[in-house]
């Protein structure tokens, strides 16, 4: 198991009085009235020196922090505009780890994705579902880490081999798919848009069969429930989250990753390995925007509702309409927008 987070040195620049930027007229001073065209050090002298002062130096710090003083610029009317002073802090920060994961099928490389280590077997299983390779737990015989070491000789856990059941065809690798997939794009390697409109092997989603079964108030509460469980985000502020909820609001599974598509693959892979596909009574809540690929992943896993805290793309809405997925965007506690198949929702008015 690789690390989820790592430490890094960071320098933070903070405006001491950001409100002064809102109205530049408040910062306007007449020439010769105490303004300086240079950089005045923190605690600078009344003489206005830009290089030093009796109070200290702009290059020194106490307790890991230092102040950078005001900088003046000449205005059109001859007056001087002064920016607010800047406080500088040097400290350690916690970052989300991003590392490559190579996925192998039949002892051959299939794909490489950039991900946050953790729940890698779920990630691989969900990725294979999203690629239309498998759709049932019986089709996945085993998952194992392959040998791989870093320059210090430590196991990297960055290669996973999946063994499919006998008779399962391996995917066609002649579709000019790039082997590399970044953490920001799950389908960038696919040769054409037609190749990602994969036919689902699960029962088709029928919005009319579940009309009026999902409470709007419960849906609106899911982003906050998701956020409460984002432990890696609490430490880093740098990962996406995907959560599977029941129609009663129970959290079934939550996964975090630097890639939003990876987070979704991880919850889908968990569901596959637990024998829960298709997820016909589940809601998939994600922390970012709703892209085409996320709608596709939801449809291929039999998930009828996808809700996002940000906007959907035009292609995501088009696919959701075609696939029978209820697509929700801008779900932020007090309101939400439904872009496809609102018939599943019920609202108490």
**What confidence tens digit (pLDDT) does each residue in 219-249 have?**
999 999 999 999 999 999 999 999 999 999 9
Mean pLDDT of 280-309: 95
Calpha distance 180→316 (Å, rounded): 23
Record the pTM: 0.77
Calpha distance 286→255 (Å, rounded): 10
pLDDT beyond 50 at 51: no
- Determine which of 79-93, 263-277, 305-319 has the lowest per-residue pLDDT on average: 79-93
- Paired tokens of 174: 């002649």
Supply the pLDDT for residue 54.
Answer: 41
Mean pLDDT of 193-217: 79
Calpha distance 226→233 (Å, rounded): 11
Q: How confident is the model at residue 112 (pLDDT cuts 50, 70, 90)?
A: very high
Domain spans in the chain, listed from the N-terminal domain onward: 5-95, 99-196, 207-346
Supply the pLDDT for residue 209.
Answer: 86
pLDDT beyond 60 at 283: yes
Query: Over the stretch 301-317, which tens digit does the pLDDT of each residue have?
Result: 999 999 999 999 999 99
Per-range mean pLDDT, top range of 14-18, 42-46, 177-181: 14-18
Share of the chain above pLDDT 90, in %: 59
Calpha distance 313→300 (Å, rounded): 19
Bridge pairing between strands 108-115 and 65-74 = unpaired
Supply the pLDDT for residue 212.
Answer: 81
Supply the pLDDT for residue 45.
Answer: 41
Query: Over the stretch 90-108, which tens digit does the pLDDT of each residue have?
Result: 999 999 999 999 999 988 8
Residue 212: count of CB within 10 angstroms of its CB: 10
Topology given in CATH for the domain delimited by 207-346: Cytidine Deaminase; domain 2 (3.40.140)
List the beta bridge partners of residue 106: none
What dotted CATH number matches 99-196? 3.10.20.10
Would you name the residues annotated as active-site residues?
185
pLDDT beyond 50 at 192: no
Higher pLDDT, 43 or 148: 148
pLDDT beyond 60 at 32: no
Output phi, psi for 125, to 5 deg: -60, -45
pLDDT beyond 60 at 132: yes
Q: Give the orientation angle of helix 292-300 with respect to helix 120-130, to 10 degrees.
A: 90
Extract long-range pairs of 311-317: CB within 8 Å, 24+ residues apart.
312/339, 313/289, 315/291, 316/290, 316/291, 316/292
Complete edge-to-edge strand list for the sheet that includes strand 326-329:
251-257, 240-246, 282-286, 305-308, 326-329, 337-340
Cβ atoms of residues 312 and 339 within 8 Å: yes
pLDDT beyond 60 at 122: yes
Supply the pLDDT for residue 184.
Answer: 56
Supply the pLDDT for residue 201.
Answer: 85
pLDDT beyond 90 at 55: no
Q: How confident is the model at residue 157 (pLDDT cuts 50, 70, 90)?
A: confident
Q: Is the peptide bond before 344 cis (omega within 30 degrees of 0)?
A: no
Bridge pairing between strands 86-96 and 345-346 = unpaired
Which string of b and e fits 307-336 if b means at least 16 CB within 10 Å?
A: bbbeebbeebbbbbeebbbbbbbbbeeeeb
pLDDT beyond 60 at 170: yes
Average pLDDT, the chain: 81
Calpha distance 317→144 (Å, rounded): 37
Supply the pLDDT for residue 186.
Answer: 54
pLDDT beyond 50 at 191: no
Alpha carbons within 13 angstroms on the beta-carbon side of residue 107 total 0
Cβ atoms of residues 122 and 267 within 8 Å: yes
């Amino acid at each position: 198991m690789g690390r989820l987070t790592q430490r890094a040195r960071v320098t933070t620049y903070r405006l001491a009085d950001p409100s002064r930027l809102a109205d530049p007229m408040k910062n306007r001073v007449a020439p010769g009235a105490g303004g300086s065209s240079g950089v005045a050090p923190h605690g600078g002298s009344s003489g206005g020196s830009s290089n030093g002062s009796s109070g200290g130096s702009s290059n020194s710090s106490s307790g890991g922090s230092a102040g950078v003083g005001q900088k003046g610029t000449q205005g059109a009317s001859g007056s001087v505009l002064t920016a607010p002073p800047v406080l500088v802090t040097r400290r350690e920060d916690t970052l989300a780890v991003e590392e490559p994961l190579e996925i192998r099928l039949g002892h051959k490389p299939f794909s490489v994705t950039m991900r946050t280590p953790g729940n890698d077997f779920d990630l691989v299983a969900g990725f294979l579902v999203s690629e239309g390779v498998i759709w049932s737990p019986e089709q996945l015989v085993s998952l194992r880490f392959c040998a791989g070491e870093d320059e210090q000789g430590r196991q990297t856990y960055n290669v996973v081999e999946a063994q499919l059941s006998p008779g399962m065809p391996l995917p066609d690798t002649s579709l000019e798919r790039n082997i590399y997939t970044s953490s920001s794009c799950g389908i960038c390697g696919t040769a054409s848009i037609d190749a990602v409109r994969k036919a689902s092997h699960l029962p088709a989603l029928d919005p009319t069969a579940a009309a009026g079964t999902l409470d709007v108030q419960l849906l609106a509460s899911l982003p906050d429930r998701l956020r409460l469980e984002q432990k890696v985000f609490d430490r880093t502020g740098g990962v996406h989250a995907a959560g599977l909820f029941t129609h009663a609001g129970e959290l079934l599974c939550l996964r975090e990753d630097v890639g939003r598509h990876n987070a979704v693959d991880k919850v889908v892979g968990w569901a596959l390995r637990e024998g829960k596909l298709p997820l016909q009574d589940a809601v998939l809540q994600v922390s970012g925007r709703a892209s085409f690929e996320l709608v596709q992943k939801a449809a291929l896993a039999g998930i009828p509702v996808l809700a996002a805290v940000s906007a959907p793309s035009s292609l995501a809405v088009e696919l959701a309409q075609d696939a029978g997925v209820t697509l929700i965007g801008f779900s932020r506690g007090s309101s939400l927008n439904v872009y496809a198949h609102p018939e599943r929702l019920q609202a108490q008015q």
